[in-house]
Each structure stands twice: as C-alpha cells, then as structure tokens.
Amino acid sequence: MEKKYEDMWLSSLSKRSKRLQSSVIRELLKVTQYPEVVSFAGGLPAPEFFPKREIEEACRHLIPRNGEKMLQYGATEGVPELKEFLSEKMRKYGVPSEPENILLTSGSQQALDLIGKVFINEGDRVLVSEPTYLGALQAWWLYGPEFVTCGMDEDGVIISEVEDVLKEGPIKFMYMLPNFHNPAGVTISLERRKRLVQLAEKYNTFIVEDDPYGELRYEGEDITPIIVLKKERVIYLSTFSKTLCPGFRLGWIVAPKLTLKKIIQAKQGADLHTGTFVQYIVNDLCQRGILKAHVAKLKKVYKERRNVMLESLEKYFPKEARWTYPKGGLFLWVTLPEGTDTEVLFEKGKKNNVAFVPGLAFYPNEKGRNTMRLNFSNTPPDRIREGIKRLGEMLKEEL
C-alpha cells in the first residue's frame, strides 16, 4: 500500500487499539500445521472424535421441524430451552442458578471480553495467577488494567500471595481457573477455594471462575465450584469447546441477575446474540444425552493420552526437568532449570518437527522463560511418544 494510505490508517487507530497484539499461540499454530510436526502447542480437542454423525443427524432432524426459529434472530440471553437445560445442569453441580442467571456467549472467550468491557477501568488492578490463560490477558489488555499476580503450586493459587496482593490495595477482581488450569494443569483444592471466597468477602471484591475443563476429570473426585461457596461474589464461565467442539463457538456465563444485565447489554452491542442455529443443535445433543456419552468417551481417550505423555516424560526427559500431574483437562506444564530459554528451544523444535508453547506467553510480566506448556489431547499416543522423545533429546543436548 502507498505510504500516504498507510499513514492515514495508522494515524486513525484508537489509543485503545494500540494495545492490541496478535496472540502468540495463533502465530505459533501457523508453523505447527504441517503433518510432519508433532504439535503439543495448540489447546485443541482430538478432531477424529468430533461427533460428526450425531451433529449431522441433529441438523437433519431439526431443520424441517424448527428451521424457521433456528435461522432467525434470537434473544441476546440465548435460546430459552438451552438456558433451561444449563441452569438445571448447573444446579446438579450444586451451582444455584435459574435460567435468568445464564447468558449464552460466543465461546468463553467472548465472556472474558465482555467482563473486561463491563468491569475494567484503565489502571484497575486485576489479580491473575502466574502463569495464567493467555486469552484472558489478551482480552483484558485492551481495557488497560494493571495485572497483579500470585504464584501457584500443586494445589492451585498460593493463598498467602493472593492476600499479599489484596493487602497492597484494592483489586477489581480475581481471575481463577479452578480445574486443570490452562496452562499449568493444576486444580485449586477445596480448602483454598474456601479461603478465596473468604478473602473476596474480607476485601470486598469478586471472583471470575473460568472452568472450561471441569467435566474432563480423569481421576479423583469433583471439587465444589467456587460459585457454590458464595454465588453473590462469583461470575462463572464454561464452554462447549472442549467437551463438544470449539468450532461451534458456544459458551455460557452464570452470574447474579444484576451483573448479568450489564453483561447482556454489552453483548447486545457486540453481536446481538450468539448463533441461534448452533444453540438449537447443541440443545438437541444435550437433551438426547449425546453430549454426556461423548464426554464419557473423551475422558477415556484423553486419560490414555495423558498417561502416555507422563510415561514418555519419565522415559525421555532429562532429570533436571519437572512437570505437573494433571488430573484432567488438556495440558501439563514443564519447568526447566533457571536460565533455559524455551523460546530458543521452540525455534530448535521447529527444525526437529516438534512444537510446544513457550511459557513466557502465559505471564503478564516477562517471567517464565524456563517453562513450557504441553497439550496431550490433540495427538495420538504413538505420536506423543515420538514427539516427547524428540523434545527430550533436544533438551538433553541443551542442559
């Protein structure tokens, strides 16, 4: 493009948009799409298990009966039948909710963006864990918060560090990933969930509980969601992306009615409503028990993949490396000795046809150079063995 046009476009950008950056992960995924690359980089479900036949059947069965509604504009809040189903599902988990507490969103990612829009003023302190979900940082950076952080261990966020941040001054909210954290793979213990709620109460703030992975538990007992412990102080998010398919872009929010009203207004401006067609299809799959059966199948497949990854790490990784043991979800987190640079390793991995996400991407503050995220859901067992072997050999040369 000629320079005068380029200048016109660049000088027209809003101050806000100067904060926009493209997602490191999306950039990385570009290089991992070649079939020879074993990629542990994306957060992708296993595509070979998408319930294609069941979705096709649902379309064939629903369009003749309900096509006029499915293809029409709908309410911002979402399709009533699906809201009803979700509020009942949430009640079964012990989450106190009515259909009026539920909003269907275009994936949980939209929920994060709407929360940013509705709550974050420039300079607000927002508490996130180190590391945290990259997509939340990306969504919220636009609104100009200051990210303040707390560390994590095997039982989730470290409460004393959360309290230190709270003592330093007011925060707008705490962003928590209760189950099988992305990227760290760890789960917040019940004890710590209770403490978080007590702290929210003491310091008069609220918690965003982002739970895309809770249903994908491979061992142990479910832990009470934070929202159950204090529904007045929690906005809960979940999604069909990991349990059904991300291409549908369908997620939901559970929140107090007063809060939800503002979020609904923000959603109206963003996209009027989430696709009606997809909501009817998903509702059908939910009502006929197809989703439940599908999740049961995924749990078996992903558990095996997780186990193969853990065994391969034991076998091929150098003894200096440490990693988390996820009881569910899609990821585990590797920590290498201080001084190792996983961005440099990523470049080396490209040459060896193996990919992961360098940990730096998951920190708001330039930390985590010696860490990496590995995804195990998207790669069949034999390829997991092969990829971890390649990575292990690279690491042994490096360390």
Ligand X SMILES: Cc1ncc(COP(=O)(O)O)c(C=O)c1O
Contact letters for ligand X, residues 327-366 (x by CB under 6 A): ----------------------------------------
Q: In this structure, what token pair is assigned to residue 213? A: 């992975």
Q: Which residue is nearest to ligand X (CB)?
A: 107
- List own/partner pairs for 56-61 with CB under 8 A and 24 or more apart: 58/281, 58/284, 58/285, 58/290, 59/281, 61/284
Q: In this structure, what token pair is assigned to residue 217? A: 């538990």
Q: Which residue has the tokens 């440490």?
A: 322
Contact letters for ligand X, residues 288-327 (x by CB under 6 A): ----------------------------------------
Report, in Å, the least distance between residue 241 CB and ligand X. 3
Whose Cβ is closer to ligand X: residue 28's or residue 395's?
28
What is the CA angle 358-132-191, rounded to 5? Answer: 135
Q: What is the Cα–Cα distance from 94 to 114, expressed in whole angstroms?
A: 25
Q: Does 129 bind ligand X (CB under 6 A)?
A: no
Report, in Å, the least distance between residue 17 CB and ligand X. 21
Q: How big is the site for ligand X, counted in residues (CB under 6 A)?
A: 14
Stretch that binds ligand X, among 103-111, 223-231, 259-267, 335-343 (CB under 6 A): 103-111
Stretch that binds ligand X, among 48-56, 92-100, 107-115, 318-326 (CB under 6 A): 107-115
Whose Cβ is closer to ligand X: residue 134's or residue 260's?
134
Q: Does 276 bind ligand X (CB under 6 A)?
A: no
Q: Does 107 bind ligand X (CB under 6 A)?
A: yes
Q: What is the Cα–Cα distance from 180 to 383, expressed in whole angstroms?
A: 23
Q: Please say whether the beta carbons of 196 and 174 come within 8 A.
A: yes
The one among 42, 43, 178, 392 contacting ligand X by CB under 6 A: 43
For residue 256, with 0-12 CB atoms within 10 Å meaning exposed, 13-18 middle and 19 or more buried, which class applies? middle
Q: Kindly list the distances between the CA atom of residue 103 and the CA atoms of 167, 251, 259, 265, in Å, as whole numbers in the listed order.
A: 33, 9, 11, 11
Which residues inside 220-249 make contact with ligand X, applying CB under 6 A? 239, 241, 246
Stretch that binds ligand X, among 105-113, 162-170, 339-347, 360-368 (CB under 6 A): 105-113
Q: From edge to edge, which strands make up the β-sheet containing 102-105?
A: 102-105, 251-254, 234-239, 206-210, 173-176, 125-129, 146-150
Q: Please say whether the beta carbons of 44 and 378 come within 8 A.
A: yes
Q: What is the Cα–Cα distance from 58 to 62, expressed in whole angstroms?
A: 6
Q: Does 251 bind ligand X (CB under 6 A)?
A: yes
Whose Cβ is closer to ligand X: residue 116's or residue 246's?
246
Q: What is the DSSP string of 254-273?
A: E--HHHHHHHHHHHHHHHSS
Whose Cβ is closer to ligand X: residue 136's or residue 260's?
136
Which residues inside 204-223 make contact with ligand X, applying CB under 6 A? 210, 212
The one among 119, 133, 302, 323 contacting ligand X by CB under 6 A: 133
Binding region for ligand X (CB under 6 A)? 43, 107-109, 133, 135, 177, 182, 210, 212, 239, 241, 246, 251
